[in-house]
Structure 1
Amino acid sequence: MTPTPRGADNRVPLDAAAPVRNPRTGEFDHVLAAPTHDELAASCARLRTAQPAWLARGPAGRASVLERFADRLEAHRDSIVDALTVDTGRVVESRLEVEITVAGLRRWAAQAPALLEPGPSRRSQVPWIAIRPAHRPHPLVGVISPWNFPLLLALIDAIPALAAGCAVLVKPSEVTPRFVAATRAVLSLEPELASVLEIVEGAAGTGQAVIAQVDAVAFTGSVPTGRVVAHAAAERLIPAFLELGGKDAAVVCADADLDHATSAILWGGTANAGQSCLSIERVYVQRGVFDAFTALLADKARRVGLAHPDPSAGGLGPIIDPAQADIIDAHLADAYARGATALTGGAFETHDGGTYLRATVLTDVDHRMRVMTEETFGPVLPVMPFDTVEDAVALADDSPYGLSAAVFAADVDAAAALGGRLAAGAISVNDAALTAVLHEGEKNAFKQSGVGGSRMGPASIDRFLRRQSLLVHEPTTVDPWWHSL
């Protein structure tokens, strides 16, 4: 544990009691309640004290607790969805968050016991020495999560860490803290899990204090903040697993099924109002079908409504964070100034205090524009033509990001081959943003989209384990030569 900076008061909250804005009404109806340094230190001490007993339960015992927690979340789904709806202003995605989180708990409960088997002993090059593999979890893992999927991204790393035997402290975004109380209420029904999983409100100061007191940190958020987290972790020589920004490209070949491709790309670019790191944020279409594609995409985009006045009616929810609305607005202004044309949407609307942007299809775009090179994080689909496959690869890879991408072509093998040439971790073939709903495929983030082991698939549990080798000198009549040195 690191000390509080000289002159600081350990009894003062780590972050100010700031008001939190409701994205649907524009009203400030919640006050952030960050812990003090002493309270956070006490939480970490409690988690560390409980972790050995949690580890001693063994993989199957921990799995049974995670399975029960999944049942609890499912039974209390409505209260959590209600809280998420207030946090984010949308209902459909909030329901999906709970469903995916429950599925993740059950998947890890089913898979973790086998994955945590250390494996068989093996012979070494020295005949009488055997190597017995083992592993030990990091005792306390810190998770710092963002505002776009508050529950899902608070627990997506916490669940495998818990399955591995770690205790976990979660600090979600200060933009969406209301779900914390509802989740804590459900967690309290499983005291054994609550002893090793704690969720605290807070902003940057709390996040910094978390990093200062844990043994490993998993962070999801922007590249600039990721650099700050990485630096703080490096100062303490603890591992940092970073899932950062994205500028996902979709490549549409001339032989693709345009009806299917436009539907998939529209969903991939506008689900959750485009507020996802794996949203489709730029589209490259082979020139011969460019006009047909953009006309069809624009026609479908015009029919996407707003989740207003009924937030459960589907359609696009509000922009959750006002700071993100400013970024989206700046990207659109820059694009228009450089000659872009909005076929649909293209301007913010205010309804009952909430900020909305209809599905926006842009043409006449190029890589001079911020909307083609920087993360927009809104329901904006800029579409640009290309001539050859080599051109498409060059355009898709002309980005500092490499989280995921999509390729559409009639020949699945050709599409997969093209996808394999792209510098991105997860490639959806003849679909888009598949990692939003399928978490079983192992992948790494390329370029500035992150560092660390795969967050997806069975290998993701390895991030929270430290490997050991027990080098066993077995009975022998031979004296090792090194004993005589």
Structure 2
Amino acid sequence: MIQVRNPRTGELDYAIDPLDALRLAALATDLRDRQAQWASRSTTERAEMLRALGATIARHADAIGTALTIDTGRRAISRIEVEGTARTFDRWAGLAPDLIARSTGEARPSATPGVTVSTRLVPYPLVGVISPWNFPLTLALIDAIPALAAGCAVIVKPSEVTPRFIRPLMAAIAELPEVPLVVIEGDGATGAALVNAVDYVAFTGSVATGRKVAAAAAAAFIPASLELGGKDPMIVLASADPAWAAQVALRASIVNTGQACQSIERVYVARQIAEPFLSALVAGAQAVRLNAEYIGSGEIGPFIFVRQAEIVQAQIDDAVAKGATVLAGGTVEIVGGGHYLRPTVLIGVTPDMAIMAEETFGPVIPVTVFDTIDQAVGLANGGVFGLSAAVLARSPEEAEAVAIRLNAGAISINDGSLTAMVWDAEKSSFGASGLGPSRMGDSGLLRFVRKQALLRQTGTALPIQAYAEDARR
């Protein structure tokens, strides 16, 4: 058994029994059997069942939401997760039939005379999903739902840090046994075994673990989608209103206590507006409330994973030791057993500091002042990550001229962290931020199918004599 910590109280008040490799193998065999019938259904039938499952999860919202709230120590975002998941089922149910039809199409003449060509989409039989602890429900199902819509069966292994939602979620899933979806309890060893049991793996998490998943997938000779870490920069141009820019930067940096891969973790501001920007940013940061005393108020919850609090504090301490100055926040507080950090603003940071080079995953905003746009772009493009970025300016056109110079898969223009809200724009992860097709847009579903070409000879098949050395050509 694995004991699970409560992020608000610090108590070990829950336990899970990780699935071992033998039980996992048996489950995979059962799901493969179920997948054949699932894939044989029409796209419309599958869509109707997915809609029904989304509605069922919505009916179980109280139980799932309560478990998520305990898992994460925050209530409002837990409710958003449950509501958003139900909508995601509905959205893919609406999109999948037409998308699959458009991707197959009618038979067409080939460029080779006498041959017609048509395309079938063949789903991977079994998809494995390994998901993280920061948005437990959303990230458990963000890959699973389109995979189901494509005709796959799915096993999901959420993080052992936040497993309480699994049992109420499985109670909802059990009401629709036709849908080949199972969510299991497990740890890192379970995740490693899962890679060897499936035909496609979708992983969301750290770069270090992502590298291990990629290596295991390569050894198993299966494809992998890897959505990994980020160190997202924001460039604030001189034309931007400093008070507005500070408000956008603050929100984009600290939502969910900064525990989001698309959080802004580096801010580069033009010298012309640096002083009013920093003044507004510090004032905004100091006005943000912890929800330590009462979960129903405040904007900053506890660190979900206590080890993350230690990592963030170590990065702040390293920056200060190397010459950075703390203008707000800066110290992890322990309240009632939970670990909290008020929004932290740092200046005097340099690229060699851990807080500027490594993913922070906390409510920390390091600010650097720049003199030229070339300098800002160079700083923003530094490092190994390339998940997303943001540019703020007076006009979208001015911001876009800078945005297209950034090495990142998605750029928010005159806003921050829009990738958390926009689901229909395909994007690639640059650098160490990931590998594989986009989980957004049409690719979110189409990555889970293989294309099979049917080549029909409508004329006369060539005899072997056509390849004779003395054949006329």
Using structure 1 for the length normalisation, give the TM-score: 0.94
> Aligned in 2, Cα 1:391/1:481: closer, same or farther, shift over 3 Å?
farther
Q: Does 1:154 align with 2:140?
A: yes
Q: 1:340 Cα deviation (Å)?
A: 1.1
Q: Quick one: distance in 2 between partners of 1:210 and 1:479?
A: 46
Q: Quick one: distance in 2 between partners of 1:433 and 1:231?
A: 30
Q: Quick one: distance in 1 between partners of 2:239 and 2:359?
A: 29
Partner of 1:419: 403
Amino acid across the alignment from 2:466: S
Partner of 2:73: 89
Q: 1:482 Cα deviation (Å)?
A: 5.8
Q: Is the 8 A contact 2:64 2:169 kept in 1?
A: yes
Runs of 4+ in 1 over 2 A off after TM superposition: 257-260, 478-485
Please give the per-residue CA displacement for 1:299-318, whole angstroms capped at 9, x wherever unaligned: 01111101122212231010
> Aligned in 2, Cα 1:482/1:365: closer, same or farther, shift over 3 Å?
farther
Does 317-326 or 247-256 show the bigger shift? 317-326
3-state SS in 2 of match to 1:46: helix
Q: 1:233 Cα deviation (Å)?
A: 0.5
Q: Is the 8 A contact 1:100 1:437 kept in 2?
A: no
Q: 1:260 Cα deviation (Å)?
A: 2.3
Q: Quick one: distance in 1 between partners of 2:142 and 2:4?
A: 24
In structure 2, stretches of 5+ residues that fail to align are: 468-473
Q: 1:479 Cα deviation (Å)?
A: 4.9
Does 96-105 or 405-414 show the bigger shift? 96-105
Q: 1:243 Cα deviation (Å)?
A: 0.3
> Aligned in 2, Cα 1:314/1:102: closer, same or farther, shift over 3 Å?
farther
> Aligned in 2, Cα 1:427/1:483: closer, same or farther, shift over 3 Å?
farther
Partner of 1:435: 419
In structure 1, stretches of 5+ residues that fail to align are: 1-16
Q: Quick one: distance in 2 between partners of 1:313 and 1:481?
A: 79
RMSD: 1.1
Q: How does 1:64-103 map to 2 (within 5 A)?
A: 64-103=48-87
Q: Quick one: distance in 2 between partners of 1:190 and 1:265?
A: 43
Amino acid across the alignment from 2:111: Q
Q: 1:483 Cα deviation (Å)?
A: 6.2
Q: Is the 8 A contact 2:230 2:262 kept in 1?
A: yes
Amino acid across the alignment from 1:173: S
Q: How does 1:456-471 map to 2 (within 5 A)?
A: 456-471=440-455
Q: 1:274 Cα deviation (Å)?
A: 0.2
3-state SS in 2 of match to 1:191: coil
Partner of 1:171: 157
Q: Does 1:276 align with 2:276?
A: no
Q: 1:481 Cα deviation (Å)?
A: 6.2
Partner of 2:384: 400
Please give the per-residue CA displacement for 1:73-103, whole angstroms capped at 9, x wherever unaligned: 2222111111001111011111111122122
| Count of aligned pairs | 465
Partner of 2:294: 310
Pairing partner for 1:449 from 409, 421, 433: 433
Q: Is the 8 A contact 1:453 1:460 kept in 2?
A: yes
Partner of 1:484: 466
Q: 1:235 Cα deviation (Å)?
A: 0.5
Q: 1:70 Cα deviation (Å)?
A: 1.4
Using structure 2 for the length normalisation, give the TM-score: 0.96
Q: Does 1:112 align with 2:96?
A: yes
Partner of 2:471: none
Q: Does 1:35 align with 2:47?
A: no
Q: Percent identity?
A: 49
Please give the per-residue CA displacement for 1:155-176, whole angstroms capped at 9, x wherever unaligned: 0000000000000000000111
> Aligned in 2, Cα 1:198/1:363: closer, same or farther, shift over 3 Å?
same
Does 392-401 or 409-418 show the bigger shift? 409-418
Q: 1:411 Cα deviation (Å)?
A: 1.9
Q: How does 1:249-398 map to 2 (within 5 A)?
A: 249-398=233-382
Partner of 1:188: 174
Q: 1:30 Cα deviation (Å)?
A: 1.0
Q: Quick one: distance in 2 between partners of 1:392 and 1:77?
A: 45
Q: Quick one: distance in 1 between partners of 2:26 and 2:296?
A: 40
Q: Is the 8 A contact 1:92 1:314 kept in 2?
A: no
3-state SS in 2 of match to 1:444: coil
Partner of 1:8: none
Pairing partner for 2:116 from 117, 130, 143: 130
Amino acid across the alignment from 2:158: P
Amino acid across the alignment from 2:159: S
Q: Is the 8 A contact 2:377 2:406 kept in 1?
A: yes
Q: 1:388 Cα deviation (Å)?
A: 1.1
